[in-house]
Structure 1
Amino acid sequence: MASVSVPESKPYSVPEESKKVLRDGLVNNPRHKTLPGECKDMLDYVEYVGQDQPRIAINWRFAESVASLKGLEAILINVLLSRKYGIAPQKVIINTDHAQLFFMSALLLQVEPAEGSPLQPTPIRGLTAKYAQYFPNGDLHQMASSFYRRAATNIYKAKDGRFFHLHGSLNPDPSIDALGLPRDRQDISADEDAWAVFAAKIGEQDAAAWDHLLGEEYRQAATICLSPAEYANSAQGKANADTGLYNVYPRRDPSLRAGWWKDSPLTSVRRPLAGLKVVEFTRVIAGPAIGRGLAELGASVMRVTSPNLADFSGLQPDLNWGKWNCHLDLKKEEDRSKLRELLLDADVVINGYRPGVLDKYGAGYEDVSKIAKDRGRGIIYVRENCFGWSGPLSHRSGWQPISDAHSGVSMGFGRAMGNDEPVTPVFPNSDYCTGIAGTCGILQALLEQAEYGGSYLVDTALDYYNRWLIEEVGEYPKQVWEHLWQRNGRAVFRHFHSMNYTIPRYIEMMKSQGIFDLQFFEIRVSKALGGLKIRAPKPILQFPPGTVELGYNVGTRGNGTDQPRWPDDAQTEVVL
């Protein structure tokens, strides 16, 4: 675990520490030795500003983490500007107070806000209802329809005293079935009563027995909660020990040119990824955040979902900015043909599904690489998962709270509050930050592809990010954490307090700290939603005027809004 020390004579500074993490934990990190050589020269072009003292009462240095990752993105954009457009590196400013809004952005959107009105964040539980009239509800299995079904996603204590994270995912039925419990209990009308049912059941067996039953036999997202040291010494932790935030695997081939790099008439310094066509197979946060990061730089992103698969529609208002959205049922031959037409013209594919799922439908890495070879132009294929791409758990599905519990992040948060038990650290931080990592991996692959040709595989994972957070970023120094915790009332949360419970309470804490400053927000308009105005956090990276302009070519929309074909003019918002 990273040890952060600050001399007694020198006060702590979030901007200064973010710069150190960018330098030492990213650019000069031996695990990231494949970064372009110019990256070290670009460090001084990233400037951090913001308040010195941390403001969110979480022991892990989340603000420094997201700000440094955005710094790496800025550096890679500068390398792209230099190589593709021949311009000098640009000074990029990152306000760390602004940057920390990134990992909670889904909670911060406001529809048709009155001018100057204060921000009213929405807890996760209320997101779907808030946007119901604009975004079709993708909750096909009523995952959160009752206190009882919501309780299928939580941490409970097993018979042997170990803690176990059960996760109902987008369909709690298989997890509940595995426990031998009824699928619903409409008679339960409080969180505490629902937790008690699941706690009693998990207490009947050891954690390892539940892990095998849920994770292997029922193939559900689940994990034994580990400490950071236990994770590092586990078989999966050792398998991930040498990974960076992402790994780029090249198949260099000068005969497979990087067509977008030279051929796109749309690309420019102003929108440096304009004309780059991206097919995105993702759900929930981490995968969609990768595609949104590319869209912010001008890329044309087509998100492909299925009308038969559940999705968390409350997240779409935030994560569907900059994307067209089409439905395809890949069990149908005609829809697989439509997908192939999209892939024939694509430059990047993002796959956020369980390992092996898309292989069944001709959309795995090898299939897409063959399409690229046959057309004579390389492709970049990104895979994002929970546990990583090697090791005994690589085949399992998982989500942000599962990775947090598995890697030791949750245990670290619980211990910081004085209890030897895991507590999910409030926000979907590892989700959003894995999204930045994936965007950076694609930028690096684009740079390599332009030089060497060929196709590239980029692997990233929630566990990769969390291992980096633990080892390279770490926790606040004890005196800084004590002051921060005291300032926020020394609130103590328990293992059974899920994000649905903690987020509303943290929102109230953050309001008192003035964190939701309107200077960090902008009004966007979505033509796809009839000109709806939405207040949302501004892009984090601040480039000089007249250079890179971050934003979105198309407005946010619900799944299945568009037809599965590339619009003729990728810069114009159209609902096909």
Structure 2
Amino acid sequence: MPFEKAANGTSGIRTETYSVPKATKDVFENGILKNRLVSSQLPEDIETCATKVEFEGTDQPSIPINWRFAESISALKGLEAAMISVLLKRKYGVEPQRTIINTDQSQLFFMSVLLFKIDPDGEAIDMLTAGTPKGKAAYAKYFKECDLHDMGNSKGPYRSSATNIYKTKDDRCFHIHGSMDSSPTQDSLGLAHYQDFADPEESFKPYMEKTADIGSEDLQRLASDVYKQAGTICWTTEEFKNSAHGKANAHVGLFEIHEMKNTIQAPCWWPETEHTTPKRPLAGLKVVDLTRVIAAPAVTRGLAELGASVMRITAEHVTDMSTLHCDLNWGKWNAHLDFRNEEDREKLRALIREADVVVQGYRPGVLDKYGFSPEGLLELTKDRKRGLIVARENCYGWNGPWSYRSGWQQISDANTGVSMEFGRAMGNDEPVTPVFPNSDFCTGVAGVVGILTALLRRATDGGSYQVDIALNYYSQWLVNSVGTYPEDVWQDVWSRNGRQVFRHYHNMPYLLPRYLKMLQENSKDVLFNPSFFERRHSGALGQDIICPKPVVQFPQGPVELKFNVGTRGNGVDQARWPQDLMTEVVV
């Protein structure tokens, strides 16, 4: 198959013969396996195992976004499949297994938070109905409301419009972000916390008026340094690459692993149970989950899918997004601990002393004051013979002048130029958020691969390891190693979906329902094929739920991807490891 340079300089299949599965294979081979930034972190036998990964699916792209999201997530899932084969070979003596990645099904992965259906034979609660007053009440029967700052639009769209892209005094665009509480962002602009708007587009206007009177650098200072809220100037891809921060992180591929030498921590796996077999390869692995929202929870859900036992720790006084819990809490017990109390801190220490992996996803430095920084966690387990894997996730990356800033998916997209290129593809020289939480979920896959790699290193060399992942690490890989569709391929998929043009101020609450409607009308048979979904039962909820199936497929076995523990809300379990790590019910 002949290749040519794509519009952004990455290699791609010639447009007249474009095929998503073939282009995915190219990204897998050249963007991952032959990419030194990524491959230098991977085990030596990854290439042998990668030969068993196959890609299939529809040739034409389906989603009218110019970035090659389908190819990106499919290639990353291919890497995850190859890593599972490495684990099977080293731990269980099982030869590399044939795995299949369907590139149509893979795209459901980064929109899975939108695709659940609770009680499908009864009330049939989904993400859209959960946004209505009746649906919200029905959803709350199963998942406790954790939105402590009314970001769920109970009084209209105004507070959520604090998360959006607006023009500045110096004619740049700036992505302000209300985070989990929009009040500080509104304070930074001199706006009221509540205003009465029924129309989302009308609710944008107060923010437009305020940001238009403030320069972009001043907005950055207010967001990052004064009010400690997420926010970024919307850079182009070249501006980000040439920035001090872009240069400081340019040496990182999808993740970075740091070894912590400890002479008493000998090579080892993890304590096995009767369930630790190639069928459930991570069974017996204990994971403490200190995360919220999407990217880091996607890491721990991915480990649970492989059999790991996950204890998610949140706090009743810390706000969270309950609407995400149906999708992202599969495979996890959920307990509340208040780190302000010594008794609860000791309960967490007890969990960590038995754990093999801890995953953190809070703003950099937040957990340090309680003794749960990466260094504190490693200190806590330094005297045991088994090393600890500490994975930490942030937005900007862990090097450079912006690493202290908080951020979310939209911020990474805007910061690295992904949003700018999407807006330009629609004909306007302005950024537009590319709709789906793609960088969140793809960062989640990168985290799973990074942790599997660290577990393999611990098994060979001993010691403890720190795994650094970031939304920007994924985003810069997307820009540099995956890229956008060739122009005629983009024009074709855009045309097939009505050539709709969206503007910089169209935020995710505005874009998501419109894109889902567009995909239902134009790509339903391709993307929403019933064979891509499965019915699961949650004993904790006492309900069946329709969800997208796991992406990685082992047609001849031996791995069974599923969840030992049914999804549930926050804080319903006790903060202790159960005797039976395969327990489904609340403990």
TM range (shorter): over 0.9
CA contact (8 A) 1:46 1:92 kept: yes
Q: Which of these residues, 332, 355, 361, is aligned with residue 323 of structure 1?
A: 332
How many angstroms apart in 2 are the aligned matches of 1:86 and 1:61?
36
1:538 — aligned with what? 549
Does structure 1 residue 208 correspond to structure 2 residue 217? yes
2:280 — aligned with what? 271
1:234 — aligned with what? 243
- CA shift digits 1:234-281 (9 cap, x unpaired): 111111111011001112445213554464543110000001000010
1:12 — aligned with what? 18
1:160 — aligned with what? 170
1:185 — aligned with what? 195
2:575 — aligned with what? 564
Q: Which of these residues, 533, 539, 552, is aligned with residue 527 of structure 1?
A: 539
CA contact (8 A) 2:533 2:546 kept: yes
C-alpha displacement of 1:438 = 0.4
Computed over aligned residues only, the root mean square deviation of the Cα atoms, in angstroms, reads: 1.8
Q: Closer, same or farther in 2 for the Cα pair 1:204/1:493, shift >3 Å?
A: same
- Letter of the 2:14 counterpart: P
- CA shift digits 1:124-157 (9 cap, x unpaired): 9569666222101111010133321111110000
- CA shift digits 1:516-549 (9 cap, x unpaired): 111100000000002x000000000001344000
- Letter of the 2:486 counterpart: P
Q: Which of these residues, 30, 44, 52, is aligned with residue 51 of structure 2?
A: 44
- CA shift digits 1:47-99 (9 cap, x unpaired): 00100010010000000000000001011110000000011110000100000
1:147 match: secondary structure: coil
How many angstroms apart in 1 are the aligned matches of 2:75 and 2:129?
26
C-alpha displacement of 1:571 = 1.0
2:573 match: secondary structure: coil
How many angstroms apart in 2 are the aligned matches of 1:123 and 1:7?
42
- Letter of the 1:286 counterpart: A
Q: Closer, same or farther in 2 for the Cα pair 1:128/1:75, shift >3 Å?
A: farther
1:148 match: secondary structure: coil
1:464 — aligned with what? 473
Does structure 1 residue 575 correspond to structure 2 residue 586? yes
1:304 match: secondary structure: strand
- CA shift digits 1:85-124 (9 cap, x unpaired): 0111100001000001000000000112249x99976399
1:79 — aligned with what? 86
Does structure 1 residue 344 correspond to structure 2 residue 345? no
How many angstroms apart in 1 are the aligned matches of 2:289 and 2:271?
23
1:435 match: secondary structure: helix
- CA shift digits 1:433-488 (9 cap, x unpaired): 00000010000000000001110000000000000001100000001000000000
1:176 — aligned with what? 186
TM-score computed with the length of structure 1 as normaliser: 0.97
Q: Closer, same or farther in 2 for the Cα pair 1:55/1:120, shift >3 Å?
A: farther
CA contact (8 A) 1:128 1:137 kept: no
How many angstroms apart in 1 are the aligned matches of 2:102 and 2:454?
27
How many angstroms apart in 1 are the aligned matches of 2:166 and 2:239?
18
2:540 match: secondary structure: helix
CA contact (8 A) 2:98 2:556 kept: no
How many angstroms apart in 2 are the aligned matches of 1:98 and 1:460?
25
2:278 match: secondary structure: coil
1:372 — aligned with what? 381
Larger CA deviation: 311-320 vs 511-520: 511-520
Q: Closer, same or farther in 2 for the Cα pair 1:562/1:379, shift >3 Å?
A: same
1:243 match: secondary structure: coil
Q: Closer, same or farther in 2 for the Cα pair 1:172/1:96, shift >3 Å?
A: same
How many angstroms apart in 2 are the aligned matches of 1:543 and 1:254?
38
2:140 match: secondary structure: coil
> Which blocks of at least 5 consecutive residues in structure 2 are unaligned?
1-7
2:5 — aligned with what? none
- Letter of the 1:69 counterpart: L
Q: Which of these residues, 416, 423, 430, is aligned with residue 425 of structure 2?
A: 416
How many angstroms apart in 2 are the aligned matches of 1:406 and 1:380?
29
1:529 match: secondary structure: coil
Q: Closer, same or farther in 2 for the Cα pair 1:450/1:356, shift >3 Å?
A: same
Q: How many residues end up aligned between the 2 structures?
A: 572
Q: Which of these residues, 135, 138, 161, is aligned with residue 143 of structure 2?
A: 135
Q: Closer, same or farther in 2 for the Cα pair 1:392/1:143, shift >3 Å?
A: same
C-alpha displacement of 1:6 = 3.3
CA contact (8 A) 1:4 1:475 kept: no
TM-score computed with the length of structure 2 as normaliser: 0.95
2:239 match: secondary structure: helix
CA contact (8 A) 1:2 1:472 kept: no
> Which blocks of at least 5 consecutive residues in structure 1 are unaligned?
none
CA contact (8 A) 1:290 1:436 kept: yes
Q: Closer, same or farther in 2 for the Cα pair 1:123/1:395, shift >3 Å?
A: farther
How many angstroms apart in 2 are the aligned matches of 1:545 and 1:40?
20
How many angstroms apart in 2 are the aligned matches of 1:128 and 1:292?
24
Q: Closer, same or farther in 2 for the Cα pair 1:409/1:133, shift >3 Å?
A: same
CA contact (8 A) 1:166 1:223 kept: yes
- Letter of the 1:102 counterpart: F
- Letter of the 1:516 counterpart: F
CA contact (8 A) 2:268 2:460 kept: no
How many angstroms apart in 2 are the aligned matches of 1:329 and 1:319?
22
Does structure 1 residue 362 correspond to structure 2 residue 366? no
1:88 — aligned with what? 95
How many angstroms apart in 2 are the aligned matches of 1:268 and 1:168?
45
2:398 match: secondary structure: coil
1:131 match: secondary structure: helix
- Letter of the 2:580 counterpart: D
Q: Which of these residues, 449, 460, 474, is aligned with residue 451 of structure 1?
A: 460
How many angstroms apart in 1 are the aligned matches of 2:136 and 2:169?
36
How many angstroms apart in 1 are the aligned matches of 2:470 and 2:9?
20
Q: Closer, same or farther in 2 for the Cα pair 1:92/1:5, shift >3 Å?
A: closer
CA contact (8 A) 2:248 2:400 kept: yes
Q: Which of these residues, 426, 432, 444, is aligned with residue 435 of structure 1?
A: 444
How many angstroms apart in 2 are the aligned matches of 1:362 and 1:150?
33
